[in-house]
Structure 1
Amino acid sequence: MGKNKKERINVVYSTNPDFGYEFESEETAETLPKNQQKLYVSIDKKSRGGKEVTLIEGFIGTEDDLKELGKLLKTKCGVGGSVKDGEILVQGNFRDKIIAILESEGYQTKRKGG
């Protein structure tokens, strides 16, 4: 068996030896062009020990392209951060600087929150 049992969907048990299990399909998301992306930039403090992070949401595309954009933003701001769950976290309050960087790269941006 090439696939893990946990990846099976909609079947608990089958006695049919020729039964074909359904597996979760891996969807490859196409990355939209930069001018069609609308990214939301906000400041977040919740459950981070009172420290501020700049949060970039709304990216539509592959995980590799998201990581590449995250690396660019972290490098330009000179700080650390992470890329996970379709979001980019940049340590510190860099909302205005990140909006300027994203717009110079060709992305549409929108401020979110105060």
Structure 2
Amino acid sequence: MDLKDQLKNLFPEHEVPETPLEEKSNVWMQDDPLECRFEKRKGKVNTIIAGYTGATADFKILAKELKTNLGVGGSFKNDQIIIQGDYRDRIMELLKEKGFKVKRVGG
């Protein structure tokens, strides 16, 4: 007997709506494009995303989503998302799917 069956036994009159949960990202969209650039720091390759004009908390949420989708490490410093490795193409695709305008800076 799983948890749903136990709850039905305890509350027989309660009806559970069968609506699927939708993923909603409450990240603020902006008119200006985000800058996605390639940079080497201490001999390591990094992808840097800058130019977000919304709230810092929203940018941190976006950073976490990008890192989990790519399966890589990174950080958020000085209003920039720093992703370990050269993932410019994949990051630009993910941001465009979310509705952002992205500008590739450099090479």
RMSD: 1.4
- Asked if the contact 1:99/1:109 (under 8 Å) is kept, the reply is yes
Report the counterpart of residue 82 of structure 2 in structure 1.
89
Q: Does 1:74 align with 2:67?
A: yes
Q: Can you list the C-alpha shifts for 1:54-103, whole angstroms capped at 9, x where unaligned?
A: 00010011111010000011111100101111100000000000000000
- For residue 99 of structure 1, the aligned residue among 92, 96, 104 is 92
Aligned residues: 81
- Where does structure 2 lack aligned partners over 5 or more consecutive residues? 1-26
Q: Does 1:44 align with 2:42?
A: no
- Asked if the contact 1:74/1:81 (under 8 Å) is kept, the reply is yes
| Separation of aligned partners in 2, 1:64 and 1:78 | 21
After TM superposition, which residue ranges in structure 1, 4 or more long, deviate above 6 angstroms? none
Report the counterpart of residue 53 of structure 2 in structure 1.
60
The TM-score, its normalising length taken from structure 2, stands at 0.71
The TM-score, its normalising length taken from structure 1, stands at 0.67
- Asked if the contact 1:35/1:106 (under 8 Å) is kept, the reply is no
| Cα deviation, residue 37, structure 1 | 4.0
- Asked if the contact 1:54/1:91 (under 8 Å) is kept, the reply is yes
| Cα deviation, residue 33, structure 1 | 4.2
Structure 1 pair 64/33, CA: closer, same or farther in 2 (3 Å)? Answer: closer
Q: Can you list the C-alpha shifts for 1:21-53, whole angstroms capped at 9, x where unaligned?
A: xxxxxxxxxxx94252410101110xx221101
| Separation of aligned partners in 1, 2:79 and 2:30 | 18
SS in 1 for 2:34: strand
- Where does structure 1 lack aligned partners over 5 or more consecutive residues? 1-31
